[in-house]
Amino acid sequence: EPEVTQTPSHQVTQMGQEVILRCVPISNHLYFYWYRQILGQKVEFLVSFYNNEISEKSEIFDDQFSVERPDGSNFTLKIRSTKLEDSAMYFCASSRDSSSYNSPLHFGNGTRLTVT
Amino acid sequence: AQTVTQSQPEMSVQEAETVTLSCTYDTSESDYYLFWYKQPPSRQMILVIRQEAYKQQNATENRFSVNFQKAAKSFSLKISDSQLGDAAMYFCAYRSERGGTASKLTFGTGTRLQVTL
């Protein structure tokens, strides 16, 4: 069964540095998402992306965050200047349709970001 | 805005027994979808079961079933014949039925399920 893949599985960075988290969605999916889960807390929506533009973003997704689909397969999340509170598990997800019963979100295994 | 509430931070069940995890939600929409996701220690998010709001019949997937009460805005998950591999964090999630743009999932805070021998 096709999977969403995320790299790296764990990223350690120093405060103030830029990081790029990478995701390869399922190939025939058109809708892409990033979620964040701070340790011990619930999974929070960051951003959704369709047709090469952001569909919706949460208040967490401020100017230090950006997303991009640089080619036909990758979907990236960039954090420009990391803060300690950005330490979290970041999940990429994709779906075939915008919102339908037969098109649930498929999640990757996540990238654990540690900011020191 | 939609909210999802899981009032049980932790639950425990004996192997082979049945357990029910609670979820309530708040929305003004009439068409939407509800999901239960499982997150084992590996942290992967695995879809367990899903329900369309306009379907009265409760969804079932093998040992997993839901009790969907639309009027009460309640969506509980029942796990029958619990197995050690069911031990995980379980998240209830809501998704709006909205075409054209990517529709996000709104998650509850999760219930940690322990399965004992």
Q: What is the 3-state secondary structure (H, E, C) of B40-109?
A: CCCCCCEEEEEEECCCCCCCEECCEEEEEECCCCEEEEEECCCCHHHCEEEEEEEEECCCCCCCCEEECC
The per-residue pLDDT for range A73-113, each reduced to its tens digit, is 899 999 999 999 999 999 999 988 776 667 788 999 999 99
Contacts of B50 in chain A (CB under 8 A): 101, 104
Q: Is the pLDDT of residue B93 over 70?
A: yes
Q: Which residues contact A49 (CB under 8 A, 6 or more apart)?
A: A31, A32, A33, A55, A67, A69, A75, B102
Residue B32 tokens read as: 């939407």
Q: Is the pLDDT of residue B101 over 70?
A: no
**Alpha carbon separation from B117 to B14, B63, B114 (Å, rounded):** 6, 18, 10
Half-sphere exposure of residue A70: CA atoms within 13 angstroms, side-chain side: 10
Q: How far apart are CA B4 and CA B19, in angstroms?
A: 20
The model's confidence at residue B62, banded by pLDDT at 50, 70 and 90, is very high
Q: How far apart are CA A80 and CA B65, in angstroms?
A: 43
Contact A56 B104 (CB under 8 A): yes
Residue A51 tokens read as: 């047709």
Contact A89 B43 (CB under 8 A): yes
Contacts of A25 in chain B (CB under 8 A): none
Q: How far apart are CA A46 and CA A115, in angstroms?
A: 18
B2: exposed, middle or buried (C-beta count within 10 Å: 0-12, 13-18, 19+)? Answer: middle
Q: Is the pLDDT of residue B116 over 70?
A: yes
Q: Is the pLDDT of residue B58 over 90?
A: yes
Nearest to A106 by CA among A95, A97, A91: A95
pLDDT at A39: 87
Q: How far apart are CA A73 and CA A116, in angstroms?
A: 31
Contact B35 A44 (CB under 8 A): no
Mean predicted lDDT score pLDDT of chain B? 92
Q: How far apart are CA B87 and CA B19, in angstroms?
A: 12
Beta-carbon contacts below 8 Å between A and B: 75
Contact A42 B99 (CB under 8 A): no
Task: Give residue B30's identity as a one-letter amino acid code.
Answer: S
The per-residue pLDDT for range A43-65, each reduced to its tens digit, is 999 999 988 999 999 999 999 99
pLDDT at B102: 62
